[in-house]
Structure 1
């Protein structure tokens, strides 16, 4: 699949490919259409643990890249994936960040892979989602630009679970400039581990 052409290809080669060395990617991987797809592309998401970016809200993607660039995310010593993202983002200009965010936001929505869950688990997840998540993330987990809430509907359950654990533990959502992150951290700390498993199962099942 061809993702960029002409001038965009030149931009990738001149700005993104030199960043491969920062995260240890091989020269063979430099043939990928973007640095981002080396982790976020369809064939490599499971191995890398990276989130699906397809059809994500553009302002949210921009905000997260800006946070990685500024050291507001990816600064924790235990957050290896976050550190890799921060190393990439710090070399991107604001215009490049906007361009990348726009590209992924315009992609068709991906279908998240999920494991079947028991009816009781889904019912518990539904009640948690309605009571804690839906107001910001939308009835169908479609996200909300005004509230700076990302779409959750295409994210896989493993990634959702990990992020909620990060919010609960303080690994994410602690920076003073990250108001939405602090709100998420407060909410996540009200959930037990079983609550987390139930709500991510409900989201992963398509919010039945």
Structure 2
């Protein structure tokens, strides 16, 4: 974990200069892993254009220990360590900053028409009511946007909800709802919906 933290800090000098004005100082470390240009390679979700309410809540949950404490969630543990170093003002500023950045288009491709159609049907039946017909998210329902996330990240989070790595805290009602929904899906179902979203919902 220390190696990953050091790598993120070292990379920030390369990837934080993305042309955005008035980038908060604390965003440099975040951008090293979450910058849209490198997110797929680092395994981190793209933050650009994600809802401010959701970014703020997740940072607060990592900081409080509501998320990122499970021994099988190494990335969550890394985020928890980073979040504990942030002030309340840092969290608000970072959430606002990343929510206002333009979303970089997901460039993943998948030519398996049957898999994508299966994912589409699962999304419509299980996910769309909260996350939106275009996976744009819905603040009123505490649902984040999914449209900018990669297939691998989506599949991992669905697996974490399914197995109890995420979404078990009593104070995390949306997380517990996601855990319940994910447990109705098979491993193949989760891969299909992740592929559908990761391919840009063709």
TM-score (norm 1): 0.85
- 1:94-133 equivalent positions in 2, closer than 5 A: 94-133=88-127
* Counterpart residue number, 1:41: 35
Name which of 3, 10, 13 aligns with 1:31.
Answer: 13
Name which of 130, 136, 148 aligns with 1:136.
Answer: 130
Q: Report how many residues are paired.
A: 189
Name which of 123, 144, 149 aligns with 1:150.
Answer: 144
Identify unmatched segments of 5+ residues in structure 1. Answer: 1-19
Contact 2:12 2:31 in 1 (8 A): no
1:30 CA drift (Å): 5.6
- Structure 1 residue runs of 4 or more that deviate by more than 6 Å after TM superposition: none
* Counterpart residue number, 2:188: 194
* Counterpart residue number, 1:82: 76
In structure 2, do the counterparts of structure 1 residues 28 and 157 end up closer, same or farther at CA, with 3 Å as the change threshold? closer
Identify unmatched segments of 5+ residues in structure 2. Answer: 17-27
TM-score (norm 2): 0.87
In structure 2, do the counterparts of structure 1 residues 139 and 31 end up closer, same or farther at CA, with 3 Å as the change threshold? same
In structure 2, do the counterparts of structure 1 residues 27 and 179 end up closer, same or farther at CA, with 3 Å as the change threshold? closer
The structure number with the bigger radius of gyration is: 1
1:126 CA drift (Å): 1.2
